[in-house]
Chain A
Amino acid sequence: MSIDSATVRKVAKLAHIKLAEERIAPLAAELNAIVGWIEQLNELETDHVAPMTSAVAATLPLREDVVTEGGDASLILANAPLSRDGYFVVPKVVE
């Protein structure tokens, strides 16, 4: 699979990263080299291997569905780029 400039543009859109036009072609080359190197995995036959989904064998714990923390909006808003009256201020979402 080869990554061209159109693929880079598409993936950058998916990732919400604006790329300068002059970076598109070099990135396509870099990503191609990396993905080409990754594709050595295809040498391995894995049809009957179950994918690993957890780094250690452990069952995910459940806890009581109760409030454990909270109630301090000012702390949460302290890092907001913009806030007003206890709310995050964001660019207009709905026209």
Chain B
Amino acid sequence: MSALTKLTLKAALDGLAARDFSSVELTQAHLDAMAGARALNAYVLQTPDRALEMARASDARIASGDAGPLEGAPLGIKDLFCTAGVPSTAGSNILRSFVPPYESTVTAQLWRDGAVMLGKLNMDEFAMGSSNETSAFGPVINPWRSTASNRALTPGGSSGGSAAAVAADLALGATATDTGGSIRQPASLTGTVGIKPTYGRCSRWGVVAFASSLDQAGPIAKTVEDAAIMLRSMSGHDPKDSTSLPVGVPDFAASVGKSPKGLRIGVPKEYRAEGMPAEIETLWRDGIAWLKEAGCEIVDVSLPHTRYALPAYYIIAPAEASSNLARYDGMRYGLRAPGANLKEVYEETRAEGFGEEVKRRILIGAYVLSAGYYDAYYIKAQKVRRLIADDFTAAFETCDALLTPTAPSAAFGLGDASADPIAMYLNDIFTVTVNLAGLPAISVPGALTADGLPLGLQLIGRALDEETLFTLAGALEKAAAFGAHPARWWA
């Protein structure tokens, strides 16, 4: 049955519809693979009973002709999404015992469309991290290893569990979230496809909040087409999220496979990082050549404020986080630590419940919002955010999408960057700009390094123009013919 886990989501849906196999068989194959891959630490909770129950219900709907667009497909869910009756921890000790009585809108839509839940996926605590090392459940191990050594590498973060599970065939696809690069950077580091849609495309209702003006859900998948299929189910207006956009949901998959001929691709000269490996530069050049060959016009563009995006982000995101995470006070849900009085209970609860990086960001947020500093930091950052968004608006006057590297490096070793917060933050140097501007962006695997590790290319589009991204990403995927898989050393 292990062949079933190697299928793409699209092939699995076709096989289910053709009755080549049942959802129970497909789901059991994934549960078996998950049980054999605990060394990766991708799942923080496996829900086999629920998965099989959902699979049986899917098989019944397929038999009666009532199949939904994702009917019978087993998926993994990032543990930032609240799932009714199933623990949802956000990778934090403060929510270790939290069992939401409600379902996030995004996951509710997946179940509405027939998907099967395999379990909850590991992540950086409250989505704050780029290596999965801030998780209260320990880091996820990247299924990919360098050909030069057997040491454990990070799958990236914060959606490291989602990326690792998809790369290791432990789910046909996974939900993820992206506040500064948390879908695209792990996708790049694991040879998977990840899209952060336009801000407001997917409802944030029921997704544990990190930085509300930046947070956006999206899928991590095996192929561009799979990502398009999942995103369609995840998207849509939701009155429960006031920032959810009241727009229709296109059939994104219909854009995959279309010719990108005539589309203008902007290449921003600022997307180069100090010490960036030559292999990334080479892949970028290859990507440009591939799109040119497919009939695209290449345009040089400038996004002059790019280098200020990360520092602006590290004001805005911690400021919003310090406000959002004020709710964890030990009174209504989550951990409560003992203390002599109310104030002590608050302080002890938050000291015990939050990890170091989360505390650091809350403290930065409280600092930049504190009396006397608000204008110097927070307002300044919001002004810079405007300049960054204006850069994109100007660039899109001469092009239809931008092509850049996704991340400044391939997967790195656990512990390599965790001692220096700023070194870790630099992982998001190419991804964070679009969160600030609210734009959609997708990462597609492009090549392997000399050491056999995946590298991704990023396409950035206009607001609500995911369809152009899917067309271009499909063309890149076809030209790159990536096709590599990690050796199954864990099984």
Contact = CB atoms under 8 A, between A and B. Distances in A.
Interface in A9-47: 10-12, 14-19, 27, 30-31, 33-35, 37-44, 46
B99 interface: yes
B363 A78 contact: no
A7 B367 contact: yes
Nearest to A12: B363
Interface in B73-89: none
Say whether chain B's binding surface is mostly helix, strand, loop, or mixed. helix
A6 to B, nearest CB: 12
A67 interface: no
A50 B386 contact: yes
A81 B383 contact: no
B332 A31 contact: no
A54 B438 CA distance: 9
Interface in B88-108: 97-101
Contact of A30 (B348, B365, B421): B421
B239 A63 contact: yes
A93 B345 CA distance: 11
Contacts of A61: 239, 242, 246
A6 B464 CA distance: 47
Given A37-B422, A46-B380, A56-B199, A17 B214 contact: no
Interface string B374-397: 001101111111110100000000
Interface stretch (B4-12, B47-55, B109-117, B306-314): B306-314
Nearest to A91: B342
Given A8-B363, A46-B383, A91-B339, A56 B311 contact: no
Contact of A55 (B200, B305, B333, B350): B200
Contact of B332 (A16, A44, A80): A80
A66 interface: no
Nearest to B386: A52
B430 to A, nearest CB: 18
A11 B363 contact: yes
B342 A52 contact: no
A44 B339 contact: no
A56 B438 contact: yes
Interface in A57-91: 58, 60-61, 63, 72, 75-76, 78-82, 88, 90-91
B287 interface: no
B17 interface: no
Contact of A46 (B329, B377, B384, B389): B384
A11 to B, nearest CB: 5
Given A41-B381, A51-B379, A56-B199, A17 B308 contact: no
B269 interface: no
Given A46-B383, A46-B384, A91-B345, A19 B366 contact: no
Contacts of B314: 34, 37-38
A52 B389 contact: yes
B311 A79 contact: no
Contacts of B380: 41-42, 46
Contacts of B421: 30, 33-34
A17 B334 contact: no
Contacts of B335: 81
A52 B213 CA distance: 11
A66 to B, nearest CB: 12
A19 B362 CA distance: 13
A40 B308 contact: yes
A91 B354 contact: no
Given A56-B199, A75-B101, A15 B366 contact: yes
Contacts of B365: 15
A43 B383 CA distance: 13
A38 B377 contact: yes
B329 A33 contact: no
Contact of B367 (A31, A49, A63, A78): A31
A69 B379 CA distance: 36
Given A40-B311, A53-B382, A54-B213, A3 B367 contact: yes
**Nearest 6 CB-CB pairings of A with B:** A55-B438, A51-B382, A79-B333, A81-B336, A18-B347, A52-B386
Given A18-B348, A56-B438, 10 more contacts: A16-B343, A31-B367, A41-B308, A41-B381, A43-B308, A46-B384, A51-B385, A54-B213, A79-B98, A91-B339
